[in-house]
Amino acid sequence: MNKQSKWERIYSVVKQIPYGQVATYGQIATLAGYYRQARQVGYALHAVPSDDIPWHRVINAQGKISLNHEMGGAVQRKMQESEGVVFSQAAIISLQIYQWRPKIDPLHNLE
DNA sequence: GGTCTGACTAGGT
DNA sequence: AACCTAGCCAGAC
């Protein structure tokens, strides 16, 4: 398993997050078969190769955006708000409401 | 190869 | 709530 295929798997799962919903780094790692490798998901998204990957739908386990302002946090928030995602006053997204809950194993849909 | 860093997280104090 | 630690591993020296 090289780094290339690993990142491809992560990207494939991220691509399956529906419009208007979100997923956490740890959730993506688990769904892709890499339990406990949330950091690697963040690392992979940092180097996201194309614009057909909805990287903005991935947030941390506290429901917050992990990017600071310089890295594009404001951009990410805008993109999510344009999909109808609402932020609390403390800039938190309710996972209860918006978190993606796949009915089928995303690995079943690998592209 | 060794060391450090980091779009993270779960569990403990 | 705040803080700490271990777990994870690709890239950049």
| CATH number, domain containing residue A84 | 1.10.10.10
Q: How many domains are contained in chain A? A: 1
Closest by Cα among A20, A25, A26, A5 to A82? A20
More confidently predicted of A59 and A5: A59
3-class SS of residue A58: strand
| Nucleotide closest to A28 measured between CA and C1' | B8
- Asked whether residue A107 is assigned to any structural domain, the reply reads no
Chain B, protein-covered positions (CB within 7 A): 6-10
- In whole angstroms, C4 C1' to A43 CA is 23
Tens digits of per-residue pLDDT, A66-76?
Answer: 998 888 999 99
- Asked whether residue A65 is assigned to any structural domain, the reply reads yes
Give me the residues paired with residue A103 across strands. none
- Residue A27 scores a pLDDT above 90: yes
pLDDT band for position A48 (cuts 50, 70, 90): confident
Range A41-55 average pLDDT: 88
Q: Where are the beta strands (DSSP E) in chain A?
A: 23-24, 58-59
- Asked whether residue A45 is assigned to any structural domain, the reply reads yes
| Nucleotide closest to A25 measured between CA and C1' | B8
Closest by Cα among A49, A65, A67 to A7? A49
- Asked whether residue A103 is assigned to any structural domain, the reply reads no
- In whole angstroms, C6 C1' to A72 CA is 30
- Asked whether residue A94 is assigned to any structural domain, the reply reads yes
Residues 13-42 of chain A sitting with CB below 7 angstroms of strand C: 34, 36-40
pLDDT band for position A3 (cuts 50, 70, 90): low
- Asked whether residue A106 is assigned to any structural domain, the reply reads no
Q: Is the pTM of this model over 0.85?
A: yes
- Asked whether residue A1 is assigned to any structural domain, the reply reads no
- Asked whether residue A73 is assigned to any structural domain, the reply reads yes
pLDDT at A111: 67
Domain membership of residue A82 as a residue range: 6-98
